[in-house]
Amino acid sequence: MSTAEKRRPVNRWIVLALMIAGFLLGGIFAPVQPHIQVAAEKLMEEPFIENFLGLGPLYLVNTLPTLALTLILIIWIAFSVNRAIKKSEKDLVPHGIGGVFEALLEMLYNLTEGSAGAKWAPKIFPWFATIMIYVLFANLLKIVPGFETIGVLHHSEHGYEVQHLGPITTLVAQEAEHDGYGLIPFFRGISVDLNFTFSLALIAVIFIQVIGFQSQGFGYLSKFFNTRRMFTVPFFGAMDFLVGLLELISELSKILSFAFRLFGNMFAGVVLMAVVAALLGKITIIPSMLMMFELFVGVIQAFVFGMLTMVFMAQATVGHGGEEHAESH
């Protein structure tokens, strides 16, 4: 008798059963096709702040509850990690989520130290780790069941009919002739809101400049306004000045690059899910597999956003013209 037990393909039968169940349920309850919209939807027609900072009315859109939920979740996890680490210090044994985050943060710190050096790693690491972990939570939270599927029904000219299932009212995949309804979800992923990605990009770029000034003082401005050789070697001095202006334009363009990269990749995932689900109809396994792809994209985009922030901060510590201010060991 063999010592190695023969593996039973139980998982395959589970997947097959779910495919059959999804196909049957898709025939009984036809799925409602999602409505793709770039801008966040208003949960209330009336603004809850009439004049916000002098910029105009502020409406309750469905990305604001997600933003609050993300912050609450991160604060709760932070307290849990802190409690687990304190418990580990007593008995010298890693416990649960504390060990996971300790390993994650150690890996991120080693990445920072390898790029920025031991001198500037303590200043750059908090921004790098905070931005990366926050974007990671923002990306992954949007694939939780219930996001963008539970919300407020509103009248729509090209809406669907509704069906009452006890205390729950749901849309039916049949367009209404006159009085139709659409769905405004309570929660929508904040990574597909350009306001969020632009704000995060602005914060990242501002603190890249802060790190640059901390490392080089006002000499950091010579990267953008280089007039050192303007009078000694006029021709090359003028070329250096023009290159500095190009550097300034490049630095400002990082805001758009950061914002649209994250927004574009995450919004493309939403569109891909909607298109594939509409084309396949009752076949549910492939859209489910695409959720795994969304998970992968969410992790990669958070890592890319954080790594770019960290690398640009590390570059800001290096003096213009090859003079290095970052120390590495």
- The tokens of 324 are what? 């290095």
> In angstroms, rounded to a whole number, what is the distance separating the alpha carbons of residues 329 and 324?
14
Chain centroid to Cα 127, Å, comes to 15
> In angstroms, rounded to a whole number, what is the distance separating the alpha carbons of residues 244 and 181?
56
Q: What is the pLDDT confidence band of residue 267, given thresholds at 50, 70 and 90? A: confident
Looking at the predicted structure, is the pLDDT value of residue 322 above 50?
no
What pLDDT was estimated at residue 60? 84
Amino acid at 128: F
Residue 105 CB partners (closer than 8 Å, separation 6+): 129
Q: What is the pLDDT confidence band of residue 268, given thresholds at 50, 70 and 90? A: confident
Query: In the beta sheet, which residues pair with residue 61?
Result: 42
- The tokens of 67 are what? 């933003």
> In angstroms, rounded to a whole number, what is the distance separating the alpha carbons of residues 114 and 255?
25
Q: What is the pLDDT confidence band of residue 305, given thresholds at 50, 70 and 90? A: very high
Q: Which residue has the tokens 């929660």?
A: 187
What pLDDT was estimated at residue 200? 92
Look at residue 251 and give its three-state secondary structure.
helix
> In angstroms, rounded to a whole number, what is the distance separating the alpha carbons of residues 11 and 160?
37
- The tokens of 135 are what? 């974007």
DSSP state of 267: H
Q: What is the pLDDT confidence band of residue 304, given thresholds at 50, 70 and 90? A: very high
Q: What is the pLDDT confidence band of residue 240, given thresholds at 50, 70 and 90? A: confident
What pLDDT was estimated at residue 125? 92
- The tokens of 112 are what? 């920072």
Name which residue leads in pLDDT, 38 or 237.
38
Amino acid at 17: A
Could you read off the pLDDT of 185-201 as tens digits, one per residue? 888 888 888 889 999 99
Could you read off the pLDDT of 143-169 as tens digits, one per residue? 887 787 788 877 777 676 676 666 666
Chain centroid to Cα 28, Å, comes to 36
Alpha helices of 166-233 — where are they, by DSSP H? 194-216
Residue 134 CB partners (closer than 8 Å, separation 6+): 70, 74, 200
From 290, 273, 266, 293, select the one nearest 31 (Cα to Cα): 273
Looking at the predicted structure, is the pLDDT value of residue 7 above 70?
no
Could you read off the pLDDT of 95-110 as tens digits, one per residue? 778 888 888 888 999 9
- The segment with the largest mean pLDDT, out of 24-33, 58-67, 225-234, 266-275, is 58-67
- Find the length of the chain: 329
DSSP H or E segment with residue 308: helix 285-316
- The tokens of 241 are what? 């000045």
CA dihedral 55, 61, 65, 67 (to 10 degrees): -50
What pLDDT was estimated at residue 198? 93
What pLDDT was estimated at residue 328? 41
- Give burial (CB, 10 Å; 0-12/13-18/19+) of 5: exposed
Could you read off the pLDDT of 89-142 as tens digits, one per residue? 777 677 778 888 888 888 999 999 988 888 889 999 999 999 999 999 888 888
- The tokens of 175 are what? 């367009």
Look at residue 5 and give its three-state secondary structure.
coil
Amino acid at 163: Q
DSSP H or E segment with residue 152: strand 151-156
DSSP H or E segment with residue 103: helix 96-141
Q: Are 148 and 142 in contact (CB under 8 A)?
A: yes
Amino acid at 110: N
Residue 83 CB partners (closer than 8 Å, separation 6+): 98
Query: In the beta sheet, which residues pair with residue 161?
Result: 172
